[in-house]
C-alpha cells in the first residue's frame, strides 16, 4: 500500500511542471501535499492516479507500476480530483451504483449504503446531484473514491466547499481511514494539515522543498529574530524593556503582557530574567514563539 516516486519530471510542451521529484510514502501514512497554485501538486496527483503519463522517472503505487499495469493499478487507488467531476443529471444512489458497476463490485448494495453512511449522504441519497450544495457534491466525490475500498487514497482539496461541521466530520473520516490506507491529500488549509497529517511534503516550482513532520517544519526559521511573549506580574513601561541590549521591538498586548522581538543571538531570555530581578519584577510566563506552518510555507514558497 506504499507510494514510491523516483526522479519524476513532467513537461507540458516546453514548460516543465515537475523537476526530478522523489519521495516515498509508507503504508498507513497520511501525508499532506502542499504548494502554491501552479507548483505541480495536481500534476503529481494525476500521475499518481494514472490519469497523466509522466515524461521521465518511475512511480510505483501499491506494488504496481503506474504506467505498466493501469487496470490492476486503478482498482487499488481511490481518487478525488480537485474539480470533482460528477454526472449531475444522476441521482446520488444511481451515480454510486454506476461507479460500483465499473469496479464490478460483488456486494454493490451493501457497499453503497456503507459509503453513504460514512460520508453523511443519507438524507441526500435520493436527490439529483445537480440539486446538491457544493459541500454535498464533495461528499459524493469522496464516496465514489472510497467505494472500491482502495488501498491508496489520493485526495485533491477534499474539504473544499464544506461548512465547519462537515469539515470536522470529513477530517475525522480521513484520519480513521489512515489507520488502514495510505493517504496523500492536497490542501491549502494549514489547520487541516496539523489536524490530519503525520507528514508534510511541500512542493514549489515543480521541486520538493521540504519533507518532514509538521512539528519539525515549524522549527525551521526564515528570520534572524526571536519572538518572545512575556507576562509580568505588573505593567512595565515598554521603553524600559527596550533598554535591554538585543531587543528590537516591544509591543504591549495586554495589561502586563508584551510581545518582544529580539536578535537570535544571544538568547534574550537570559537578559529578560536578569532585567526582572534587577527591577523587582515577577515573570508569570515567558514563551518563545515558534513559527506557524503557514509562516514556514510562505518562507519556503514565496
**Do residues 140 and 278 both lie within one domain?**
no
- β-pair partners for 205: none
Mean pLDDT taken over the chain: 89
**Do residues 23 and 93 both lie within one domain?**
yes
Phi-psi region of 50 (alpha: psi -120 to 50; beta: other; left: phi over 0): left
Domain finish residue from 171, 187, 217: 217
**Do residues 193 and 280 both lie within one domain?**
no
**Do residues 198 and 70 both lie within one domain?**
yes
Dist CA 152 CA 248 (whole Å) = 50
Query: CA nearest 48: which of 38, 35, 33?
Result: 33
**Do residues 245 and 137 both lie within one domain?**
no
CATH number at residue 160: 3.40.50.300
pLDDT tens, residue by residue, 246-296: 999 999 998 999 999 998 888 999 999 999 999 999 999 999 887 788 888
Sign of CA dihedral 70, 173, 155, 34: negative
- Enclosing domain of residue 242: 225-301
**Do residues 144 and 277 both lie within one domain?**
no
pLDDT tens, residue by residue, 68-116: 766 777 778 899 988 888 999 999 999 999 999 998 888 899 999 999 9
pLDDT of residue 278: 94
**Do residues 176 and 238 both lie within one domain?**
no
pLDDT of residue 94: 96
Which residue do the cell numbers 450544495 mark? 133
Query: CA nearest 70: which of 48, 55, 50, 56?
Result: 50
**Do residues 134 and 195 both lie within one domain?**
yes
**Do residues 259 and 189 both lie within one domain?**
no
**Number of domains observed in the structure of the chain:** 2
CATH number at residue 280: 3.30.70.1560
Amino acid at each position: 500500500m506504499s507510494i514510491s516516486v523516483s526522479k519524476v519530471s513532467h513537461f507540458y510542451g516546453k514548460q516543465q511542471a515537475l523537476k526530478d521529484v522523489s519521495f516515498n510514502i509508507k503504508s498507513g501514512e497520511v501525508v499532506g501535499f502542499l504548494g502554491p497554485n501552479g507548483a505541480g501538486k495536481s500534476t503529481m496527483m494525476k500521475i499518481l492516479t494514472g490519469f497523466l503519463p509522466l515524461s521521465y522517472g518511475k512511480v510505483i503505487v501499491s506494488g504496481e507500476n503506474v504506467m505498466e499495469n493501469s487496470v490492476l493499478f486503478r482498482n487499488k487507488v481511490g481518487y478525488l480530483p480537485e474539480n470533482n467531476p460528477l454526472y449531475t443529471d444522476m441521482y446520488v444512489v444511481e451515480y454510486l451504483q454506476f461507479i460500483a458497476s465499473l469496479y464490478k463490485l460483488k456486494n454493490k448494495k451493501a457497499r453503497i449504503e456503507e459509503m453513504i453512511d460514512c460520508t453523511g449522504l443519507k438524507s441526500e441519497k435520493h436527490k439529483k446531484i445537480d440539486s446538491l450544495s457544493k459541500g454535498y457534491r464533495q461528499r459524493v466525490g469522496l464516496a465514489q473514491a472510497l467505494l472500491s475500498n482502495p488501498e491508496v487514497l489520493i485526495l485533491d482539496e477534499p474539504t473544499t466547499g464544506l461548512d465547519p461541521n462537515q469539515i470536522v466530520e470529513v477530517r475525522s473520516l480521513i484520519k480513521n481511514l489512515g489507520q488502514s490506507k495510505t493517504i496523500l491529500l492536497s490542501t491549502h488549509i494549514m489547520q487541516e494539515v496539523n489536524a490530519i497529517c503525520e507528514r508534510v511534503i511541500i512542493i514549489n516550482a515543480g521541486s520538493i522543498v521540504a519533507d518532514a513532520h509538521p512539528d519539525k517544519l515549524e522549527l525551521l526559521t526564515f528570520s534572524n529574530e526571536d519572538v518572545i511573549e512575556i507576562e509580568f506580574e505588573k505593567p512595565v513601561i515598554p521603553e524600559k524593556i527596550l533598554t535591554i541590549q538585543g531587543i528590537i521591538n516591544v509591543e504591549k498586548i495586554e495589561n502586563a503582557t508584551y510581545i518582544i522581538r529580539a536578535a537570535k543571538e544571544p538568547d534574550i531570555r537570559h537578559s529578560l530574567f536578569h532585567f526582572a530581578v534587577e527591577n523587582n519584577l515577577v515573570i508569570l510566563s515567558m514563551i518563545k514563539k515558534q513559527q506557524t506552518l503557514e509562516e514556514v510555507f510562505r518562507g519556503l514558497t514565496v
